[in-house]
Structure 1
Amino acid sequence: MDASDDQPDPRPGTGAVPASVEAAWGLKPRPQKGPKRGLTLDGIVAAAVAVADAEGLEAASMGRVAKELGVSTMALYRYVATKDELVTLMVDGAFGPPEPLPEDAAADWRAGLRHWYQAIGAAMFAHPWAVAHVPSGGPPVTPNQLAALDQALYILRDTPLTEFEKVATALLVSNQVRAEVTIALAMGGNKDMERLMNEYSHFLLRVSAAGRLPHLRTAVEGGAFDEPDTEPPRNPSDYDEFAFGLERVLDGVQALIDARRPG
């Protein structure tokens, strides 16, 4: 085997990263003669996001986006190969670049990750159609995703964690906020959630009768399902109800940091 076989292929669009993502980074030549003056990848993504925000992701078909831009559907394929690639870029464009860190967030890793978590959550609530399409099965590749990751690594820069552990911590926190937002959106989508949760508690009491599911019954009787939050948070200041999950994640990171420090 030639040694060159072990090297990544530098040609655009030949690896795991879609050609449209490479184009978003400026790594792929843009069409020299577009079908309409002023048509750009950024413009296509912005138009698609506007449709999805107004009518949902299903409405943002290639044909609909082309119509919004006043071009043929085939014209879009000069910039984006598939609808899946477009969705990837839409999610990145919708969430946008990370918010600047406040001074205390830059000095205290725990405060910094709280701010980071809240900013991601606020962006997700602003574009709920995008939440289910946040990449979770692979590494981030788009410009804003990697900018957010870079910011998290900056927050963790002075900790004794290894570089692997810093990246893993950032992904852990981002997965936590995605899970919390998904639950909150589902709850907020039903205006009669309090009644439904009460019915669910009664259901659990019924199925846990006669000694079945004893630990679950103890949790129900202890109020685990009482007083549900019926409105999802809409901005960072509303995240107190999610504090338990986030703080336990941060506690785990703190324990690892403490274990890394001598003495």
Structure 2
Amino acid sequence: MTEDPDELPPGLALSWGVQPVQRRGPKPALTIEQIVATGIEFGDRYGFEAISLQRIAGRLGVTTNAMYRYVRSKEELIVLVHDKAVGTPPELPDGWRAAAIAWVDALVKQYAERPWLLDVPIRGAPFTPNVLRWVEVMLAALDQTGLSQHDNLGCLVLLDGWARNYASLARQLGNSDNAPVQAEQVGRFLVPRLLAGDYPTVASLYLNAEYQDELDDDLEFGLARILDGIEVLIAKRP
């Protein structure tokens, strides 16, 4: 197995602490940790698009070209910043179902605190330490199900997808300046048209205040249905 950083995906070696061979010349003025911390600061303050080699170089007082002494590309920078910003998962409770609920809840809270993490491109299976730690703890909990490793990995992808989807929807609703569907002026306009236009089921939901922008208990409801489905899969295993 190679440990030559040039033969590995961007960020893989550096994320595991494997530094490139230092060439002769002046001692580096910066550290990877400084660069990554600055990238996270920009993400937290200004969003994902603000994380760039040029901006970080300006903040740290070096040229953009000098940044390439530390990272090979912007892609490598993003990989390192993402892994550090994700952090480590919480300790999960006993029982695969309780562990799944805690794991998804922690992910959703992480996305709420750092919504720019949702904008980080997904380019394949994770390979960095912190992201893999999230995978490790959930797979370890799913080992209790008696399912195959393949099925456990599929369950993890399903849980991760639900957390990301919910967090993304919550962010979009939170950023929306539009009037909510249950606003009084929206109701005055919409309800008569629903009743007259053959939308009886939607009209009933609307009149009972069930059709609205707020997510309410959608996270728990959707997650419970996913876990119920995993229960069925467990019951069907050979």
TM-score band w.r.t. shorter chain: 0.7 to 0.9
Tell me the SS of whatever aligns to 1:68. Answer: helix
TM-score, normalisation: structure 2? 0.84
The CA deviation string for residues 59-113 of structure 1, in whole angstroms up to 9 with x for no partner, is 2221111122222212221222222322222222212111222xxx2x2100000
**Counterpart in the other structure of 2:223:** 246
Q: 1:111 aligns with which of 86, 91, 98?
A: 98
**Counterpart in the other structure of 1:127:** 114
**Counterpart in the other structure of 1:226:** 211
Q: 2:157 aligns with which of 147, 171, 190?
A: 171
| Residues 256 and 40 of structure 1, relative CA distance in 2, 3 Å threshold | same
Q: 1:159 aligns with which of 139, 145, 169?
A: 145
Structure 2: runs of 5+ lacking an equivalent = none
| 4+ residue segments displaced more than 3 Å | 8-11, 30-38, 195-211
| Residues 150 and 221 of structure 1, relative CA distance in 2, 3 Å threshold | same
Paired AA for residue 177 in structure 1: A
Answer yes or no: is the 8 Å Cα contact 1:176–1:246 preserved in 2.
Answer: yes
Identity %: 31
| Residues 249 and 167 of structure 1, relative CA distance in 2, 3 Å threshold | same
Is it true that 1:22 corresponds to 2:16 in the alignment?
no
Report how far residue 134 of structure 1 moved.
5.5
Paired AA for residue 131 in structure 1: L
Answer yes or no: is the 8 Å Cα contact 2:194–2:200 preserved in 1.
Answer: no
Answer yes or no: is the 8 Å Cα contact 1:35–1:75 preserved in 2.
Answer: no
Answer yes or no: is the 8 Å Cα contact 1:187–1:193 preserved in 2.
Answer: no
Is it true that 1:78 corresponds to 2:64 in the alignment?
no
C-alpha distance in 2 between matches for 1:39 and 1:109: 43
Answer yes or no: is the 8 Å Cα contact 2:3–2:13 preserved in 1.
Answer: no
Q: Provide the aligned length of Structure 1 versus Structure 2.
A: 234
Paired AA for residue 165 in structure 1: D
Report how far residue 139 of structure 1 moved.
0.8
Paired AA for residue 259 in structure 1: K
Report how far residue 158 of structure 1 moved.
1.8
Mean Cα deviation higher: 53-62 or 177-186: 53-62
CA RMSD of aligned residues (A): 3.0
Structure 1: runs of 5+ lacking an equivalent = 1-7, 212-216, 231-238
| Residues 171 and 223 of structure 1, relative CA distance in 2, 3 Å threshold | same
